[in-house]
Amino acid sequence: MVWFLAFSRLRTLLVILLATVALVQSVRGTALSSLDYQGDSDVFNPLVLLQAVINGGVPPVSVRWAISNGTVFGGDNITFNRGFGIVLYGVCLIATDATGSSVVGGHLLKAALYDEGVYHAHHYSPIDPGITVAPNCPIAGETVSFSTFIGCAAGANCAPPPWSGQWLFGDGSSTNFVTSDRTNVSLHSYSEPGIYFAQIRARDSLGRTNTNTVPVVVIDLPPKPVIGPYHQDYNGNASFLVPRVPVRFDGSSSYDPDGTITNYTWTFSDGAQQQGPVVYHGFPKPGSYAVRLTVTDNAGLRASVSTVVRVAPSP
């Protein structure tokens, strides 16, 4: 459904998106949007304000936004500009907490901003195919459902069946369909992260046509770092470590849910740093030391996890 606002002059469009991310341990979040139109047409680049509301997780929690206009933002609150006309955005966000757990939320955001002349010049085609995409922010390789209802524009009578259409998924692939009830559901998956524009081309039995296009933001999840049990080879007891004896640290259980891990970096609070899934490091004297593992996946995304080890005096 496209909303039209007839104002003599439009001044400001404020779009506030509240994206509610479920517990960070869950697979997917939900999103709510609130649209507020007011004012005059003097400002040609109204602001879109996005605010993330994160539930659960171990702080600090970082938020990464991916918008279908090609921009990527970081932070709980972001803004960007948009112009006049009908704008349909795919808005996705990824929240990652201190343990490396991630959750994805997002939805399609449709807004209309007209001056008076554009509003009165607009007209509907005889048929109006809608598009619903689920999930709104798929992961690369995940199955995406594209569904349509070929509605009739206001004041027009629906032609008798059959109706037909074609889906173009934006990655070079397409599929055709014929329907007797003006509905269709087609499944598709995208092999690579990116921004795709999926289009439906619908036709009724009288030859009247119309199209609709939606952005699909296919995301890449960050990797999940895991620090396994650590010990000194001479005793195998992680609860009792002594100075100047190498400790074996194992990060080989780390994984990337939609790719591969290409780099492991270990950082120790005594100033040392090492590379690799498994490393050995000895601590110079008794005390507590922070150990951080940072992993990087094949898309360049990073995630870190930390632990604290306690070194006792030598027996």
Q: 268: pLDDT confidence band, cut at 50, 70 and 90? A: very high
Question: Considering just the CA atoms, what is the radius of gyration of the chain in Å?
Answer: 26
Whether the full predicted model's pTM is greater than 0.75, yes or no, is no
Write the CATH number for 80: 2.60.40.10
For 117, the 3-state DSSP assignment is: helix
Examine the fold and report which residue of 122, 137, 158 is the final residue of a domain before the chain moves on: 122
* Same domain? 1 vs 109: yes
* Same domain? 110 vs 63: yes
* Same domain? 303 vs 238: yes
Please classify residue 174 by burial: count the beta carbons closer than 10 Å to its beta carbon, then call 0-12 exposed, 13-18 middle and 19+ buried.
middle
Q: Is residue 226 part of a domain?
A: no
116 backbone φψ class: left, alpha, beta (φ>0; ψ -120 to 50)? alpha
113-127, 145-159, 198-212, 263-277: which range is least confident on average?
A: 113-127
- pLDDT at 64 exceeding the cut of 50: yes
- Interval 94-133: pLDDT, tens: 878 778 777 777 666 655 444 433 333 333 346 888 999 9
Angle at 153 between CA 210 and CA 123, to 5 degrees: 75
In the block, which residue shows the tokens 């990652």? 96
Examine the fold and report which residue of 220, 255, 288 is the final residue of a domain before the chain moves on: 220
Q: Is the dihedral of CA 230, 263, 260, 70 positive or negative?
A: positive
What does the pLDDT average to over 170-183? Answer: 95
Examine the fold and report which residue of 181, 200, 220 is the final residue of a domain before the chain moves on: 220
* Same domain? 60 vs 7: yes
What residues pair up with 183 in beta bridges, in sequence order? 149
C-beta neighbour count of 243 within 10 angstroms = 14
* Same domain? 81 vs 183: no
136-150, 230-244, 301-315: which range is least confident on average?
A: 230-244
Q: Give me the number of domains the chain comprises.
A: 3
* Same domain? 29 vs 144: no
Cα–Cα distance, 146 to 28 (Å, whole number):
18
Tell which wins on pLDDT, 305 or 68: 305
Cα–Cα distance, 187 to 213 (Å, whole number):
16
Tokens of 158: 């629906």
- Domain range for 304 is 231-311
* Same domain? 30 vs 101: yes
* Same domain? 99 vs 143: no
Q: At 223, phi and psi to the nearest 5?
A: -70, 165
Cα–Cα nearest to 291, from 265, 264, 263, 267: 267
Tell which wins on pLDDT, 288 or 71: 288
pLDDT of res. 104: 77
- pLDDT at 147 exceeding the cut of 80: yes
Q: At 215, phi and psi to the nearest 5?
A: -80, 145
- Interval 21-49: pLDDT, tens: 334 443 232 333 333 333 333 333 456 66
Angle at 139 between CA 136 and CA 144, to 5 degrees: 50
Identify residue 244 by its one-letter amino acid code. R
* Same domain? 242 vs 282: yes
Cα–Cα distance, 93 to 71 (Å, whole number):
12
Cα–Cα distance, 101 to 119 (Å, whole number):
46
Q: Is residue 225 part of a domain?
A: no
* Same domain? 115 vs 160: no
Cα–Cα distance, 211 to 11 (Å, whole number):
30
In the block, which residue shows the tokens 């600090």? 60
